[in-house]
Chains A and B, each alone.
Chain A
Amino acid sequence: MPAVISVENLTKRYRNPHGADKAALNGLTLDVPAGEIYGFLGPNGAGKTTMIKLLIGLIAPTAGGGTILGAPLGSVDARRRLGFLPESPYFYEYMRGEELLDYYGRLFALPVGLRRERVHSLLKLVGLWESRRLGVRKYSRGMLQRLGLAQALINDPELVILDEPAGGLDPIGRREMRDILLQLRDRGKTVFLSSHILAEVETVCDRIAILHRGHLMAVGRIGDLLAESREMELTVHGINGHLSARLAGIPGVTVRHGTDATVVVLPEQRLVYEVIDLVRQTGGQVVSLGAKRERLEDLFVKLVGQTTEGQP
């Protein structure tokens, strides 16, 4: 499958007021395949926004380069075929929502009929149809985010770059945003999604890249990165202090007490029957049993934590 975004050795360095050089992005090489939702993750200051700015052409790379849809990064040809939602989008406050989308449509040189049709359908898609004639200054944070998504889609782009799209949205808004992203993928669009909300990324993304301090820490399909481990996880009801102490005494077993249930994590499958017997003997009840699967959050903390340790 051809890469929609392809960057090689992409580097961006900034010089601080004291003359010291700081790499915001360090030799990043990445391919984003077509037709997927690609999650771009990293803690604050990892270089995510720098990467997006380089893709759009808001800043120039110090070294390296790449292409978007076959055109050079930041070129007009590339920008003609992509949509971009910045983090916390800002708009002309003196304009109305509908008018603003029409303005962006004009910048894409969309013919008047198509522009009107696109503006109307997008306003309906993002749930702003009723507020289309309201001044943007009267829009709430969530409405601005929806308007931001609408303007990112005004040219029916092949690639949509979203920087923290769920910011400012309530749970219903987030769900709607997720549905829109999935619809875009179903229509063959590529979505490049930078987000802090790991659960969101885990739900919608096909592939992810984790960035930390300008370095790529991991890249791949979520299913491959979050490999199932050999650990087993039992959820148990009615566990008492005596049993808890006995379980904790088995090497490698961890016990986590919750409000309703206790989760017992076993290092190997062979311990399953032994532990189940113990639970039954003490009057407990096994509610569920399964292979423990790493969550994206675990992987993220593991990768980012590793490099944070030992650094000043």
Chain B
Amino acid sequence: MIASPVFVVARQVMKEAGRRRTLPVLVLFGCAVILSSAFLSFFQLGVEVKFFKDVAITVIFLFGTVATLILVTTQLSGEIESRTIYNILSKPIRRWELVTGKFTGTILAIALAVAPMVAILVFFIYTDRGGSMLEAVKAAYLLWLAFAVLSAIALGIASFSSSVVTGALTVLVLVVSYLKAAVTTYLALVTQSPVVNSLGQAMYYLLPNFENFNTRTAVVHDRIVPWAYLGRTSLYALALAAFFLYLGVQIFEEREF
């Protein structure tokens, strides 16, 4: 079978994710934490289900975020720093195909990485802990969308910077995205400058609202996340990922090696 260069690169990213020990170790550690919380919560009558679901989803979010950052920051910039980019770009692959392949491989690898943690969560909900398995899967799916957006942002940054700078800037974007409401409110309070406030507003609308992907509270309290919300959030993630990837590709197309 002849595959498109995008899938050839994606396959290589997934292979790399499996071969480098960091990701498997993170997955094992995440699974261990979720399993521990399952057994610990067993002894806390009344609160065990909520506690377990709360911990499991938080662990999936934290470990998924760390795994995404580790995997994605070493992709494009790592390729440039280790000079393997010369061999790749001398082959019949377009630069946008390389960036898209890296993105596809990263989000598939992250899906595979969080799958065991999600499986443990669903298994314990199914056996004797109560709650909706479907809602847990929906929550995991939304978190995966957040990881996809984060990957696109990191690849966008990696198109013009080194691995270290990519890692640092991506973390900064993630933190500022979570705090953006507070930051814009604070800016409005401390300065009367229309320029600064406009910049704050621009940042507010440009940066993703990662809270949209967090349905932990709904899962913990057995509330249903509507399918319409899932659809809207999926489109939101798609638009954000496409926007940041587009920016990254445009910069990467012009970059010289």
Interface residues of A (CB under 8 A from B): 53, 56-60, 76-77, 79-80, 82, 84, 86, 88-92, 94-95, 103-104, 106-112, 148, 151
Q: Within the complex, what minimum Cβ distance (angstroms) separates B164 from chain A?
A: 19
Q: Within the complex, what minimum Cβ distance (angstroms) separates B257 from chain A?
A: 4
Chain B contacts with A in 11-33, Cβ cutoff 8 A? 11-12, 15-16, 19-20
Partner of B12, one of A77, A82, A92, A108: A92
Assembled-state Cα–Cα distance A91/B82 (Å): 8
Q: Are A107 and B257 in contact (CB under 8 A)?
A: no
**Residue B93 at the chain A interface, CB threshold 8 Å:** yes
Given A56-B89, A86-B86, A112-B1, 17 more pairs with CB closer than 8 A? A59-B256, A60-B256, A79-B92, A84-B86, A84-B87, A86-B83, A86-B87, A88-B83, A90-B87, A94-B15, A94-B16, A103-B8, A104-B91, A106-B3, A106-B8, A107-B8, A109-B5
Q: Are B89 and A103 in contact (CB under 8 A)?
A: no
**Residue B90 at the chain A interface, CB threshold 8 Å:** yes
**Which residue of A is nearest B253, CB measured?**
A60
Give per-residue flags for B238-257: 1 if the beta carbon is below 8 A from chain A beta carbons, else 0. 00000000000000000011
Assembled-state Cα–Cα distance A226/B73 (Å): 53
Which A residues are CB-close (under 8 A) to B228? none
Which A residues are CB-close (under 8 A) to B82? 90
Chain B contacts with A in 73-92, Cβ cutoff 8 A? 82-84, 86-92
Partner of B19, one of A57, A94, A148: A94
**Residue B45 at the chain A interface, CB threshold 8 Å:** no
Interface residues of B (CB under 8 A from A): 1-3, 5, 8, 11-12, 15-16, 19-20, 82-84, 86-94, 256-257
Q: Within the complex, what minimum Cβ distance (angstroms) separates A283 from chain B?
A: 62
Q: Are B16 and A90 in contact (CB under 8 A)?
A: no
Which A residues are CB-close (under 8 A) to B1? 112
Which A residues are CB-close (under 8 A) to B86? 56, 58, 84, 86, 89-90
Instruction: Write 11 A-B pairs (CB below 8 A) sorted by A numbering.
Output: A58-B90, A59-B257, A80-B92, A84-B86, A84-B87, A88-B83, A89-B86, A92-B84, A94-B19, A103-B8, A148-B87
Q: Within the complex, what minimum Cβ distance (angstroms) separates B20 from chain A?
A: 6
Q: Within the complex, what minimum Cβ distance (angstroms) separates B43 from chain A?
A: 43
Which A residues are CB-close (under 8 A) to B93? 76, 107
Which one of A58, A92, A110 has the greatest number of beta carbons of chain B within 10 Å? A92
**Which residue of A is nearest B84, CB measured?**
A90
**Which residue of A is nearest B12, CB measured?**
A103
Q: Within the complex, what minimum Cβ distance (angstroms) separates A257 from chain B?
A: 47
Which B residues are CB-close (under 8 A) to A56? 86, 89-90
Q: Are A109 and B2 in contact (CB under 8 A)?
A: yes
Which A residues are CB-close (under 8 A) to B91? 79, 104, 107-108
Which A residues are CB-close (under 8 A) to B87? 84, 86, 89-91, 104, 148, 151
Q: Within the complex, what minimum Cβ distance (angstroms) separates A151 from chain B?
A: 6
Q: Are B3 and A58 in contact (CB under 8 A)?
A: no
Assembled-state Cα–Cα distance A103/B11 (Å): 9
Which B residues are CB-close (under 8 A) to A86? 83, 86-87, 90
Assembled-state Cα–Cα distance A151/B88 (Å): 11
A92/B16 contact (C-beta < 8 A), A79-B91, A86-B83, A86-B86 known: yes
**Which residue of B is nearest A12, CB measured?**
B256
Which A residues are CB-close (under 8 A) to B12? 92, 103
Assembled-state Cα–Cα distance A182/B131 (Å): 72
**Which residue of B is nearest A107, CB measured?**
B91
Which A residues are CB-close (under 8 A) to B2? 109-111
Partner of A107, one of B5, B16, B20, B84: B5
**Which residue of A is nearest B1, CB measured?**
A112
Assembled-state Cα–Cα distance A92/B13 (Å): 11
Assembled-state Cα–Cα distance A56/B5 (Å): 18
**Which residue of A is nearest B21, CB measured?**
A94
Which one of A90, A103, A107 has the greatest number of beta carbons of chain B within 10 Å? A107
Q: Are A107 and B256 in contact (CB under 8 A)?
A: no
Assembled-state Cα–Cα distance A111/B87 (Å): 20
Which B residues are CB-close (under 8 A) to A151? 87
A91/B84 contact (C-beta < 8 A), A76-B92, A107-B93, A108-B91 known: yes
**Which residue of B is nearest A74, CB measured?**
B89
Which B residues are CB-close (under 8 A) to A89? 86-87
A58/B16 contact (C-beta < 8 A), A86-B83, A103-B8, A112-B1 known: no
Partner of A53, one of B3, B83, B92, B257: B257
Assembled-state Cα–Cα distance A259/B1 (Å): 65
Which A residues are CB-close (under 8 A) to B3? 106, 109
Which one of B5, B8, B90 has the greatest number of beta carbons of chain A within 10 Å? B90
Which A residues are CB-close (under 8 A) to B94? 76
**Which residue of A is nearest B90, CB measured?**
A84
**Which residue of B is nearest A112, CB measured?**
B1
Q: Within the complex, what minimum Cβ distance (angstroms) separates A312 from chain B?
A: 27
Assembled-state Cα–Cα distance A293/B16 (Å): 55
